[in-house]
C-alpha cells in the first residue's frame, strides 16, 4: 500500500517536473527572445541574451566571437522586422541602421534548442555590398505593409517555402514555375524593382546551403544561402494567397 502510494506520488512529481521541458515554442516566447536580441544589439552588450554556453555565432557564415563581433557594437536601429517560426523555434530579424558614417543592413537568424538560444547567424551588409544603399532600404522597407494574415487566408509552411525555393531555383533553371504576384516588389540592397519581380533574375547560378525561417502568420520565409555557392546571402519572401508579394535581398560581396 505504502509502496503503491509512493510510486503514485513519484510519478505525479516526475510529471510536474517534466512539464516545463516539454513546453511548446510559442510566438510570445520568440517575440521576447527577438526583443532581447534587438536590445542587445542596440546596447552592444550580449549579457541579456539567454544563450547556451556552447552557442554557435557566425557573421557572414563564418564562425565569429560574440565578444568582438557586431553584437559588441552599439547600433541605433532605425527599422526592424522579425518573423517567428514556432515549428523550428527560430526567428529572423531584418535590421536597418541608417547612420550615414557607419550604415548597416543586418539579417539575423536565431535558433533555440530546449528554450535556450543555441545559434546566432548574422549577415552584415554595408557600403560596397551588392546595391547597398541604406537610405533606399529604409525608405522602401518602411513604406511596405506586412500585416498578420487572417487565419483563414494563411498559406501552409510548404506553400510559403516552395515560393521562395522556386525563386532561388529560377537562377539555375529557367523552366521553374515561380508563383509571381502582381504586383510584386523587390527591395534588392537599396534598389526597388516593381511592379514585377520577374526582372533581372540571373541565370547559371546555383544557390546552395539553404537555411529557412518560416512564419505562416506573416506569410514569410527567410532563406540564408550561398549565392553561386559562395557569397553569403539572405532572401526574404512575403507570400500572399500563394503568390510572391515582396522580396528583400542582402548579398555580401567578398
Ligand atoms: C523594432 O520595431 C518595432 C516595430 O516598429 C518597434 O516598436 C521597436 O521599438 C523596434 N525595436 C528597436 C530595438 O528598435
Query: Tens of pLDDT along 165-200?
Result: 999 999 999 999 999 999 999 999 999 999 999 998
Q: Which atom of ligand 1 approaches the CA of 42 most closely?
A: 13
Expressed in angstroms, the distance from the first to the final Cα of the chain is 73
pLDDT for the residue 17: 43
pTM check: above 0.85: yes
> What pLDDT, on a 0 to 100 scale, did the predictor assign at position 10?
47
Residue 68's contacts (CB-CB under 8 Å, 6 or more residues apart) are none
Tell me how far the alpha carbon of residue 35 lies from the centroid of ligand 1, in angstroms: 8
Edge-to-edge, what's the strand order for the sheet holding 90-97? 62-63, 51-59, 116-125, 104-113, 90-97, 79-85
User: For 15-23, what is the mean pLDDT?
Assistant: 45
Q: Which CATH number applies to 27-143: 3.30.365.10, 3.10.450.50, 3.40.50.1360, 3.40.50.850?
A: 3.10.450.50
pLDDT greater than 70 at residue 145: yes
Average pLDDT over residues 55-82: 96
Ligand 1, atom 8: nearest CA belongs to which residue? Answer: 80
Task: Spell out which residues line ligand 1, taking CB within 6 angstroms.
Answer: 38, 42, 77, 80
61 prior amide bond cis, ω within 30: no
Cα(213) to ligand 1 centroid in Å equals 20
Distance 127 CA to ligand 1 centre (A): 24
Percent of the chain with pLDDT over 70: 91
pLDDT higher at 50 or 117 = 117
Atom of ligand 1 nearest to the CA of 38: 13
Q: Residue 252: exposed, middle, or buried by beta-carbon count in 10 A (0-12, 13-18, 19+)?
A: buried
Residue 2, pLDDT > 80, answer no
User: What class, spelled out in words, does domain 151-251 have in CATH?
Assistant: alpha beta
Reported residue count of the chain is 254
Give residue 4's pLDDT band: very low, low, confident or very high (50, 70, 90): low
Domain ranges of the chain: 27-143, 151-251
User: Sheet harboring 220-227: ordered strands across?
Assistant: 191-193, 180-188, 243-251, 231-240, 220-227, 208-215
Nearest to 145 by CA among 109, 90, 181, 185: 185
* Closest listed residue to residue 246, CA positions, set 176, 197, 200: 197
Rounded mean pLDDT, 107-132: 96
The answer to whether the 27-143 and 151-251 domains have the same CATH topology is: yes
Q: How confident is the model at residue 12 (pLDDT cuts 50, 70, 90)?
A: very low
Quick check: 223 pLDDT over 80? yes
Indicate if the alpha-carbon torsion angle 78, 84, 89, 90 is positive or negative: negative
Whole-number pLDDT of residue 20: 42
Phi-psi group of 68: left, alpha or beta (phi > 0 → left; psi -120 to 50 → alpha; rest → beta): alpha
pLDDT bracket for residue 3 (50, 70, 90): low
Tell me, in angstroms, the distance from the centre of ligand 1 to residue 39's CA: 9
**CA 12, 16, 22, 25 torsion-angle sign:** positive
* Mean pLDDT of all residues belonging to the chain: 91
What's the 1 CA to ligand 1 centre distance in angstroms?
60
Nearest CA to ligand 1 atom 1: 80
Amino acid at each position: 500500500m505504502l509502496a503503491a502510494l509512493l510510486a503514485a506520488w513519484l510519478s505525479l512529481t516526475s510529471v510536474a517536473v517534466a512539464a516545463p521541458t516539454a513546453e511548446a515554442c510559442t510566438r510570445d516566447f520568440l517575440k521576447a527572445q527577438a526583443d532581447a536580441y534587438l536590445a542587445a544589439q542596440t546596447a552592444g552588450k550580449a549579457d541579456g541574451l539567454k544563450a547556451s554556453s556552447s552557442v554557435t555565432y557566425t557573421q557572414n557564415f563564418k564562425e565569429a566571437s560574440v565578444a568582438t563581433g557586431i553584437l559588441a557594437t552599439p547600433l541605433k536601429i532605425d527599422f526592424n522586422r522579425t518573423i517567428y517560426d514556432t515549428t523550428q523555434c527560430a526567428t529572423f530579424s531584418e535590421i536597418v541602421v541608417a547612420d550615414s558614417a557607419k550604415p548597416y543592413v543586418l539579417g539575423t537568424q536565431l535558433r533555440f534548442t530546449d528554450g535556450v538560444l543555441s545559434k546566432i547567424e548574422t549577415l552584415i551588409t554595408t557600403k560596397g555590398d551588392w546595391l547597398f544603399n541604406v537610405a533606399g532600404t529604409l525608405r522602401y522597407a518602411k513604406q511596405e505593409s506586412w500585416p498578420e494574415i487572417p487565419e483563414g487566408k494563411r498559406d501552409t509552411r510548404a506553400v510559403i517555402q516552395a515560393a521562395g525555393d522556386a525563386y532561388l531555383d529560377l537562377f539555375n533553371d529557367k523552366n521553374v514555375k515561380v508563383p509571381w504576384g502582381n504586383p510584386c516588389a523587390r527591395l534588392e540592397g537599396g534598389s526597388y524593382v516593381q511592379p514585377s519581380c520577374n526582372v533581372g533574375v540571373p541565370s547559371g547560378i546555383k544557390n546552395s546551403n539553404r537555411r529557412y525561417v518560416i512564419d505562416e502568420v506573416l506569410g514569410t520565409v527567410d532563406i540564408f544561402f550561398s549565392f553561386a555557392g559562395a557569397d553569403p546571402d539572405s532572401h526574404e519572401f512575403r507570400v500572399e494567397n500563394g503568390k510572391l508579394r515582396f522580396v528583400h535581398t542582402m548579398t555580401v560581396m567578398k
